[in-house]
Structure 1
């Protein structure tokens, strides 16, 4: 490699700037940044600088700067004018009902980035982007590639749990935020579920409002808190009956249960996030609802498909009927899946390799 290059990445949000993308330790999940640490390790071994994009230096033609974005779309136009920058790839990491403005902006961004990556395809995303664009697919990278043996081996388990923050989508289309609430409401009647996550003691947070000035958002929030004291939401009242607070460790809490409600944020092709895998890592059986093509990605004998039941009463009856041997089979099947080639598209190493190959192509260099 004769060319001197450096890699600069705009993270999913400003919380991960100043290189926190590679070291963030906030309460977002266990080792959530592991895929980006893996990417950083690869480039460090090649003596290639890699940083978040806020640290990109002033124009310097002695070094080619490869620019990628994992969600932020505020900088690519300015950087595209620099002769020392290659605007390489955009990765849509969030789903469209959470951040619809991002998908609208992808229509313009496609003319600047050499690659537009998504976990779904152009047909599925067209209604959000406004037109068909050239989409290359990737799988959501997982932080681990095997079970957490200490957690997986645990036998003193309770029945059912759910772990999600108390949020509502920006767009109510094929969304599963409110379906989670209805599920909790049903199971709370018989006290058959424990709920974990953030802010279930407060009104639900409406997503997609980051563009609204903070002062107005705070006023709205204060009004919501007062309103719910007078007119409480029945779904939130039910949730608070079984609310156990936020979890210090997702893996630790998951391992305390045999089953977990594992509903994605929305129903759309390809949207398979860490939720189902987090269950596999801890030996918890996921009750899954989300990507319509889930059985093409993960064997059906690894999880319980919510679509197989007419409602929560039927689901509850099925869960209560499962024997210890039945439960263990699900767990073993998931463990075997993680060790199989079928899991590899979701590994952090595969994600890092995809980015490396893309940079090689765009900069006309060989890095491996």
Structure 2
């Protein structure tokens, strides 16, 4: 007698399952981990679905960040965002509903329940062509957002703004800004929602950020034509290494990185330029502007070696998927 398939409910508010499990949704490959996760569960006889596809009670729930439960079934959570972006992830009392907490920093989860993960990315290797067809010196690709809470000692949204304003004033010919909502005023923590509401009635001039070149369908297209990119995480947390630095790596672009204090525990130092080592943006700019192509090619070669190394595999999609599927299937079999 054939065993009935199990059903897992993936809870990701705001993103329909049809989009999450579609490789065509993101030209930059952001849905690849979730498509791979669905296929891996299917290989174990589990159908991973969204709420719009669910029929009956699921055998388990998998939450993107801390959510309210949808059933009495066993629950698991992926702490994908830091608690300054998604505050519920920082409340331990909300985590007691979960069998397992998958987190990039074990200090975020309850002891004994937390399994470490790295946020995954397709590990593509770009050609080693030096400056090649890279006429743009520096780019920054992000949306105009802010933290949910006031945390100046961890806030890197504010540092992005400082970078943008410095380049706009002192090196506008060498800098380009891409992303959403830069035709609005700078986003602010805590009161940002109110300011955005008011701007519906009193719009800001479209020249709020003169370096802004508009929104883009895929980061890779821009990164392939640029030498360096400003890659700041949203906030400073140990282990918080997101897709941003890998977007640059996989396009052969050399990132100027600021984020996880322990980044060199995971990524070799010669793969990126550490913003913390420069006392000013002027010093950073001249370092980038006058870099010999041979030095630049050395960064690209280091990136190439890293992406092809066993060390990089902890950021790979197969490793991420295997960690989650193995843990959940082990619980379900008990």
Displacement of 1:97 after TM fit? 1.2
Displacement of 1:199 after TM fit? 1.2
Structure 2 equivalent of residue 115 of structure 1: 100
- 2:137 matched to 1:159? yes
Counterpart selection for 2:166 from 171, 182, 186: 186
Structure 2 equivalent of residue 213 of structure 1: none
CA spacing shift, 1:299–1:9, aligned 2, 3 Å? farther
Displacement of 1:202 after TM fit? 1.4
- Contact persistence 2:178–2:212 (CA under 8 A): yes
Structure 1 equivalent of residue 62 of structure 2: 68
TM-score (norm 2): 0.88
Counterpart selection for 1:100 from 73, 81, 87: 87
Q: How far apart, CA to CA, are the structure 2 residues paired with 1:196 and 1:135?
A: 36
Q: How far apart, CA to CA, are the structure 2 residues paired with 1:313 and 1:93?
A: 34
- Contact persistence 1:11–1:72 (CA under 8 A): no
1:107-161 deviation digits (Å, cap 9, x = unpaired): 2332221111211121xx48xxxx878532210011x122245x97871212011
Q: How far apart, CA to CA, are the structure 2 residues paired with 1:294 and 1:279?
A: 15
Counterpart selection for 1:310 from 276, 279, 289: 279
Secondary structure of the residue aligned to 1:355 is helix
CA spacing shift, 1:146–1:18, aligned 2, 3 Å? closer
Q: How far apart, CA to CA, are the structure 2 residues paired with 1:71 and 1:338?
A: 28
Counterpart selection for 1:86 from 74, 91, 94: 74
Q: What pairs up with 1:132-281 in 2 under 5 angstroms?
A: 134-142=113-121, 144-149=122-127, 155-157=132-134, 158-173=136-151, 174-189=154-169, 190-191=171-172, 192-205=174-187, 221-224=196-199, 229=204, 240-281=209-250
Q: How far apart, CA to CA, are the structure 2 residues paired with 1:54 and 1:120?
A: 31
- 2:31 matched to 1:14? no
1:236-294 deviation digits (Å, cap 9, x = unpaired): 96x62211111122101111110000000001101000000010100000000000000
Displacement of 1:7 after TM fit? 3.9
> How many aligned positions are there?
329
- Consecutive unaligned residues of structure 1, counting only runs of 5 or more, are 211-216
Secondary structure of the residue aligned to 2:318 is helix
The structure with more helix, counted as a fraction of residues: 1
CA spacing shift, 1:135–1:206, aligned 2, 3 Å? farther
Displacement of 1:52 after TM fit? 2.0
Q: How far apart, CA to CA, are the structure 2 residues paired with 1:209 and 1:53?
A: 32
Counterpart selection for 1:42 from 40, 43, 55: 40
Q: How far apart, CA to CA, are the structure 1 residues paired with 2:2 and 2:236?
A: 46
Q: CA RMSD in A?
A: 2.9
CA spacing shift, 1:160–1:201, aligned 2, 3 Å? same
CA spacing shift, 1:133–1:306, aligned 2, 3 Å? farther
1:150-205 deviation digits (Å, cap 9, x = unpaired): x9787121201100001111112111001101011111122121100011011345
- Consecutive unaligned residues of structure 2, counting only runs of 5 or more, are none
Secondary structure of the residue aligned to 1:266 is coil
1:208-238 deviation digits (Å, cap 9, x = unpaired): 899xxxxxx6x85342355574xx8xxx96x
1:315-351 deviation digits (Å, cap 9, x = unpaired): 1121123100100110111011011000011101011
Displacement of 1:2 after TM fit? 8.4
